[in-house]
Amino acid sequence: MTKVRSTTGRGILSAMAAAALGLAAMTGAAQAGTEQYIPTIWVDPDGCEHWVMDDGVEGYMTPHTTRQGIPVCRRGNVCGVINTDQMFATDSSRISGAGKERLMQFFQSTGATSYIITGHTDSRASDEYNMGLSLRRANSVAKVAQSSGARIADVRGYGERMPKASNASAGGMAQNRRVEIICIR
C-alpha cells in the first residue's frame, strides 16, 4: 500500500512538472507571437479619463485620478445649441443642405477634442416617440460632425425629459426642440 502511494505521488509530481513546463513553453510562444500592447487613456462621454490596459487575457480600465484621488476630467461645456425648427422639418431627422453646411463650418471651427451630441424635444408626442425622434436628430448631427473629421464621444436622446423652458407656450416648446453640442476640450 505504501508503494502504491509513492507511485501515485510520483505520478502526480510528474504530471505537475509536465504541466508547468508546458505552460512555460506556451507562455514563451505566446509572448513571441503577439504584438506589443501599449496602454492608453480613454475619455468617457462625461469627459473623465480612464487608463485602459490589457494584460493579454482580459482588458480592463481604471479611473485616472490625481494624487489626491480626484478624477481627471476634461472640461466640457455646451458650445452649440441648434434650434431643430431651423434644421429639421417637422417630425423629421433629415438635415437641410444649408443646415449641413452650417454644421460643417461649426465643427471645423470649434477646435474641441471631441463632442457629445444630445437631442431634445417638446412634450407634444408620447415619451417613447420623443425619445426616438431626439436620438435620430442627434445621430443626424453626429454624422455631419464625423464627416467633417470631428471625434464624437457620445450621442444621446433625451426626448422631453430635459426641458429648457416651459412647454405651456409655443415659445417654450420651440426652445425645447433643440440639439445641444457639448465640446470637450
Name the DSSP class of 158.
-
- What pLDDT does 24 receive? 47
pLDDT (average), residues 116-135: 95
pLDDT (average), residues 45-56: 68
pLDDT (average), residues 169-178: 93
> Can you tell me which residue has the cell 500500500?
1
Name the DSSP class of 68.
T
- What pLDDT does 38 receive? 61
Return all residues near 40 (Cβ < 8 A) that are at least 6 apart.
Answer: 51, 52
Q: What residue type is 169 in one-letter code?
A: S
Band of residue 106 on the pLDDT scale cut at 50, 70, 90:
very high
- What pLDDT does 75 receive? 62
pLDDT tens-digit profile of 64-83?
787 877 777 766 678 889 88
Return the beta strands (E) in 20-159 as ranges.
Answer: 40-43, 49-54, 59-63, 76-83, 114-120, 152-157
Q: What residue type is 41 in one-letter code?
A: I
Return all residues near 145 (Cβ < 8 A) that are at least 6 apart.
Answer: 103, 107, 115, 117, 152, 181
Distance separating alpha carbons of residues 102 and 80, to the nearest angstrom: 12
pLDDT (average), residues 23-39: 51
